[in-house]
C-alpha cells in the first residue's frame, strides 16, 4: 500500500507529524489484520469445498437438512467477501489520499487492478478449481474486479453521490429479487451478471457460469470508498474506534429489526424450529448469491466491530493476520493450487470413496476443521516470505499481489 516513515524520521518530526505517522501505521495494521483474518476463515470454506463437495450446501442453506457444524462453518465464511470488498474500496480511498502529499488519481489504479482480477479469474484461478477450461466460473474475483472497474469509472463523482448510490444498491436490490428474466430475453445476460446466478454462456466448447452476481458488490465497494475518510491520519484513533463501533452496532440493530419481524432484506423468512439451534440457524440463514441486505448488515456490522477491536491491537496473532493480509492475491492463488494438488493426490491414493469424488464422511466433518488448522501455519511460511519480498522489491508486478 503505502510505506511508513522510518523510526529516525518519526523521532525527528514535529509532534503532529509523529501522531499522523502513528495513526497511519495503526490504520494499515488494522486493515491488513482484518483482511488476513477473513482470508484464514476463507480457507476453512475452501477446505470444505475440497473434502466435502459431495455434500455441497445450498444458498440459502437447506433447513432442516444441514448439520449445525456444516451450517456454522459456512456461516463463518459469509464474512469473507463483504469484508474484503469493503476494505478494497476503503484501500482505494487511502491510495487516492495519502497521509502526506497531494491526492493521487485513483482511476488508473483501480482499472488496472480490476481488469487484472477479472483476467486471473478466467485463467489462473478458474484452472485451480477445475483443472480444465471447459467451464469457466465467474466467482468472487470477478465480482471484486468488476466492482473496482465500476468504482474507477465513478470515482470522479462527489462522495455524497457515491455514498447515496452505494446505499441505494445495497438496500434496494432485494426489491428486485423476485423478478425472473427468461433465458431467451435480451436482458437475460446483463440481469444474470448483475443480480442472479446462472449461465452466461450455456452452450459451446467453453461454457461460462456466473456464481457471484456483481451489482450488490458494487454497492459495497462504493460504501467502503466513502468510509475512507474515517481512516484519515488526521482522525484520532479513539474517535475512529467510536465511529466504527457506532456504525457496526447500528447495522446490527437494523438487522435485528428487519430480520426479527421478517420485514425486508431477506427473501427467506425465518421460522421457529423444533429445537432452539434450528431456530437460530433459520434466523441466520441468509442469501449470499447475491448478498441480501440482511446478509450485508450482519457481515459488515460485525466486520466494523472487529476493525474497531484491531485499531490498537498489536500482538503475535494480529501480526500473523497482517502477514496474510499483506499478500492477499499471492495467498489466494497459492492456497487454491495447494488444495487442488492435494486433492488430486488423495484421489489417486484412496480413490473416489464418495461417488465420483474423494471426501470425508457425513459424520466426520471434524476432519475439515483439523485440515484447515493444519494448513494455516503451512501457508503462513510462503506468505511471510512473499510479504517481505513485496515490501523490499521495486518490481511493479509485485504490488498487484
Q: Check residue 131 and give its pLDDT.
A: 84
Q: Give CA–CA dist 24/19, Å, rounded.
A: 9
CA atoms within a 13 Å half-sphere pointing along the CA-CB vector of 100: 14
pLDDT at 192 over 70: yes
**Beta strands, E only, 193-249:** 198-201, 207-210
Residues 226, 159 contacting (CB under 8 angstroms): yes
Q: Which domain holds residue 12?
A: 7-400
pLDDT at 13 over 50: no
**For residue range 146-163, what is the model confidence (pLDDT) as tens digits?**
999 999 999 999 999 999
pLDDT at 6 over 50: no
Q: Give CA–CA dist 399/234, Å, rounded.
A: 26
Q: Check residue 155 and give its pLDDT.
A: 94
pLDDT at 136 over 70: yes
177 within a domain of the structure (yes/no): yes
pLDDT at 101 over 80: no
Q: Check residue 162 and give its pLDDT.
A: 97
Residue 199, Cβ density class (10 Å: 0-12 exposed, 13-18 middle, ≥19 buried): middle
Beta bridge pairs of residue 135: 207
Of residues 16 and 68, the one with the higher pLDDT is 68
Report the number of distinct structural domains present in the chain. 1
Q: How close are the terminal C-alpha atoms of the chain, in Å?
A: 11
79 within a domain of the structure (yes/no): yes
1 within a domain of the structure (yes/no): no
Give how far Cα 271 sits from Cα of 88, 122, 280, 297, 344, Å.
35, 40, 9, 20, 41
Exposed e or buried b for every residue in 100-136, given b needs 16+ CB within 10 A?
eeeeeebbebbbebbebbbebbbeebbebbeeeeeeb
The torsion angle over the Cα atoms of residues 227, 232, 238 and 239, rounded to 10 degrees, is -60
Q: Give CA–CA dist 120/327, Å, rounded.
A: 16
2 within a domain of the structure (yes/no): no
pLDDT at 26 over 70: no
355 within a domain of the structure (yes/no): yes
Helix (H, G, I), strand (E, B) or coil at 137: strand
Confidence category of residue 194, pLDDT binned at 50, 70, 90 = very high
228 within a domain of the structure (yes/no): yes
pTM: 0.91
Cβ count near 337 (within 10 Å): 14
Q: Which of 27-31, 94-98, 203-207 has the lowest mean pLDDT?
A: 27-31
Q: Give CA–CA dist 50/67, Å, rounded.
A: 18
Q: Check residue 9 and give its pLDDT.
A: 36
Q: Which of 85-94, 176-185, 275-284 has the lowest mean pLDDT?
A: 176-185
196 within a domain of the structure (yes/no): yes
Residues 6+ apart with CB under 8 A from 357: 53, 54, 347
From edge to edge, which strands make up the β-sheet containing 135-138? 135-138, 207-210, 198-201
Confidence category of residue 3, pLDDT binned at 50, 70, 90 = very low
Grid coordinates of 205: 466448447
Grid coordinates of 150: 465500476
Omega before residue 60 within 30° of 0, cis: yes
**For residue range 307-331, what is the model confidence (pLDDT) as tens digits?**
999 999 999 999 999 999 999 999 9
Cβ count near 299 (within 10 Å): 25
Q: What's the mean pLDDT in 244-251?
A: 98
pLDDT at 391 over 70: yes
49 within a domain of the structure (yes/no): yes
Of residues 102 and 389, the one with the higher pLDDT is 389
Amino acid at each position: 500500500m503505502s510505506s511508513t516513515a522510518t523510526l529516525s524520521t518519526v523521532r525527528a518530526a514535529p509532534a503532529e507529524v509523529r501522531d499522523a505517522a502513528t495513526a497511519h501505521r495503526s490504520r494499515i495494521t488494522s486493515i491488513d489484520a482484518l483482511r488476513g483474518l477473513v482470508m484464514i476463515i476463507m480457507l476453512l470454506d475452501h477446505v470444505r469445498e475440497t473434502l466435502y463437495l459431495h455434500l455441497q450446501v445450498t444458498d440459502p442453506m437447506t433447513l432442516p437438512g444441514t448439520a449445525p457444524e456444516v451450517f456454522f462453518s459456512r456461516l463463518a465464511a459469509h464474512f469473507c467477501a463483504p469484508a474484503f470488498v469493503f476494505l478494497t474500496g476503503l484501500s482505494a480511498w487511502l491510495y487516492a489520499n495519502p497521509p502526506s502529499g497531494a491526492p493521487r488519481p485513483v482511476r488508473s489504479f483501480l482499472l488496472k487492478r480490476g481488469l487484472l482480477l477479472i483476467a486471473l479469474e478466467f485463467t489462473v484461478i478458474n484452472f485451480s478449481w477445475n483443472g480444465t477450461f471447459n467451464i469457466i466460473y465467474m466467482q468472487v474475483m470477478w465480482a471484486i474486479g468488476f466492482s473496482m472497474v465500476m468504482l474507477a469509472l465513478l470515482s470522479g463523482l462527489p462522495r455524497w453521490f457515491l455514498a447515496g448510490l452505494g446505499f441505494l444498491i445495497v438496500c434496494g436490490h432485494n426489491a428486485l429479487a423476485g423478478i425472473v428474466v427468461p433465458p431467451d430475453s435480451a436482458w437475460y445476460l446483463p440481469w444474470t451478471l448483475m443480480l442472479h446466478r446462472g449461465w452466461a454462456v450455456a452452450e459451446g466448447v467453453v461454457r461460462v457460469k456466473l456464481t457471484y452476481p456483481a451489482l450488490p458488490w458494487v454497492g459495497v465497494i462504493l460504501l467502503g470508498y466513502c468510509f475512507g475518510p474515517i481512516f484519515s491520519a488526521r482522525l484520532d484513533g479513539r474517535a475512529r474506534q467510536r465511529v466504527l463501533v457506532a456504525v457496526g452496532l447500528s447495522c446490527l440493530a437494523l438487522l435485528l429489526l428487519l430480520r426479527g419481524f421478517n420485514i425486508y432484506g431477506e427473501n427467506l423468512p425465518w421460522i421457529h424450529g423444533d429445537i432452539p439451534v434450528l431456530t437460530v440457524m433459520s434466523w441466520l440463514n441468509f442469501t449470499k448469491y447475491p448478498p441480501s441486505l440482511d446478509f450485508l448488515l450482519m457481515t459488515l456490522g460485525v466486520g466494523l466491530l472487529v476493525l474497531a477491536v484491531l485499531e490498537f491491537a498489536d500482538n503475535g496473532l494480529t501480526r500473523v493476520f497482517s502477514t496474510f493480509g499483506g499478500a492477499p492475491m499471492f495467498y489466494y492463488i497459492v492456497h487454491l493450487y495447494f488444495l487442488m494438488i492435494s486433492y488430486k493426490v488423495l484421489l489417486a491414493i484412496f480413490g473416489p470413496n464418495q461417488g465420483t469424488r474423494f471426501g470425508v464422511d457425513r459424520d466426520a466433518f471434524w476432519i475439515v476443521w483439523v485440515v484447515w488448522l493444519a494448513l494455516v501455519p503451512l501457508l503462513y511460511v510462503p506468505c511471510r516470505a512473499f510479504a517481505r519480498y513485496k515490501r523490499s522489491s521495486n518490481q511493479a508486478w509485485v504490488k498487484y499481489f
